[in-house]
């Protein structure tokens, strides 16, 4: 069994603050180390972006368009302007391929 204190990364959906609090404040596991505890919530932007790119590479431009559109919406909701620009450029390329 893995010692719960030796986990390198924690994936949390609704309990991001709780996980960060436990790692950082209660356990003091990382005191006097170079490690900064972090928890990541459920951010699907990167998942949709990767799926869109994978579908585009496979030639399924309709699915790529759908996933890239979802990634763009998520990036916009998080005000990730640079990522939005990259998604929009990729989406434009995919939509150009769809129109052929």
Cβ within 8 Å of residue 5, ≥6 positions away: 27, 29
Query: If you ran DSSP here, which 8-state letter would residue 27 be given?
Result: S
* Token pair of 80 as six digits: 């990730």
Using left for φ > 0, alpha for ψ between -120 and 50, and beta otherwise, residue 33 falls in beta
Quick check: helix, strand or coil at residue 14? coil
Q: Using CA atoms, how far apart are residues 83 and 63, in angstroms rounded to an integer?
A: 20
* Residue 11: strand pairing partners: 40
Domain parsing of the chain, residue ranges: 1-42, 45-98
Residue 83: Cβ within 10 Å count: 18
Per-residue pLDDT tens digits of the chain, which is 100 residues long: 444 444 444 443 344 455 556 555 656 667 788 877 665 555 578 888 888 989 999 999 999 999 999 999 988 988 989 999 999 999 999 999 988 8
């Amino acid at each position: 069994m893995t010692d719960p204190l030796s986990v390198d990364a924690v994936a949390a959906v609704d309990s991001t603050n709780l996980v960060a609090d436990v790692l950082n404040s209660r356990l003091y596991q990382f005191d006097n180390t170079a490690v900064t505890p972090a928890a990541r919530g459920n951010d699907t932007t990167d998942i949709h972006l990767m799926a869109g790119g994978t579908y585009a590479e496979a030639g399924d431009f309709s699915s790529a368009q759908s996933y890239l559109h979802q990634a763009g919406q998520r990036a916009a909701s998080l005000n990730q302007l640079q990522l939005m620009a990259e998604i929009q450029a990729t989406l434009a390329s995919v939509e150009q391929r769809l129109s052929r």
